[in-house]
A and B are shown apart, each in its own frame.
Chain A
């Protein structure tokens, strides 16, 4: 199984930026890094993905280390709706193996 390591939980204040780290030291050169988030009793929601360069979309930014062994998901201004479990995953032969994720708590 493809292994990623994330902190179990993080806390943020509303309207402040959040940096969610992920280590993926066994990633290979062609594996994409994906981030998803999940609310209770719902399916995961796509957030962002990238290969080597940093990526931005309307939801978040993804900063990928030069050696690709780690990445950081950046939520620029956390809202209460961003409270969820965030999963960092990398493609392993086109399959996703989920780690335990980071539970993000956003305080008003």
Chain B
């Protein structure tokens, strides 16, 4: 149980375009989902917390107008990278938390390359 999927697993886009990444909890309902970014040979950095039915809360230094997060249902959160630039190229990972549980279950990640 506790499976989280992401789509797509990798994406290449041109500079200036937007790209949407989906995160789904497949076998449980997640009131809270999280988005992380990981650059090569670095650790995961928390970007934002996504709560179902309300606005996401962003970590300090993360541009909320650039990284749009929507959590429209208990099983789906989306991250849209708007006007992507090469420096946005990274590994984006989501996680989901079951209500009342402390552990997070992570998706397999999405590799974004902006050319």
- Find chain B residues with CB under 8 A from A29 CB: none
Q: Size range of the interface on B? A: 20 to 34
- A95 and B49 in contact (CB under 8 A), knowing A41-B111, A42-B109, A43-B108? yes
Number of chain A residues close to chain B: CB under 8 A: 20
The answer on a CB contact under 8 Å between B32 and A46 is no
- A87 and B43 in contact (CB under 8 A), knowing A41-B91, A95-B49, A96-B34? yes
- Find chain A residues with CB under 8 A from B108 CB: 42-43
- Chain B, range 5-49, C-beta contacts under 8 Å to A: 6, 32, 34, 36, 43-46, 49
**A95 is contacted by which of B34, B93, B106 (Cβ under 8 Å)?**
B34
- Find chain B residues with CB under 8 A from A99 CB: 43
A44 is an interface residue with CB less than 8 A from chain B: yes
**A34 is contacted by which of B2, B36, B103, B107 (Cβ under 8 Å)?**
B103
Tell me, rounded to whole Å, the shortest Cβ–Cβ distance linking A94 to chain B: 7
The answer on a CB contact under 8 Å between B43 and A49 is no
- Chain A, range 73-108, C-beta contacts under 8 Å to B: 87, 91, 94-101
The answer on a CB contact under 8 Å between B109 and A94 is no
- Name which residue of chain B comes closest to A33, CB basis: B102
Q: Which of B46, B93, B103, B105 has the most CB of A within 10 A?
A: B103
A11 is an interface residue with CB less than 8 A from chain B: no
- Name which residue of chain B comes closest to A91, CB basis: B102
B89 is an interface residue with CB less than 8 A from chain A: no
- Name which residue of chain B comes closest to A97, CB basis: B46
Known: A46-B2, A94-B102, A96-B46. 11 other contacts (CB 8 A): A32-B102, A34-B104, A42-B108, A43-B107, A45-B106, A46-B103, A49-B103, A91-B102, A94-B49, A95-B34, A98-B45
- In the complex, 7 of the A-B residue pairs with CB atoms within 8 angstroms, ordered by the A residue number, are A41-B91, A44-B93, A46-B103, A87-B43, A87-B44, A98-B43, A98-B45
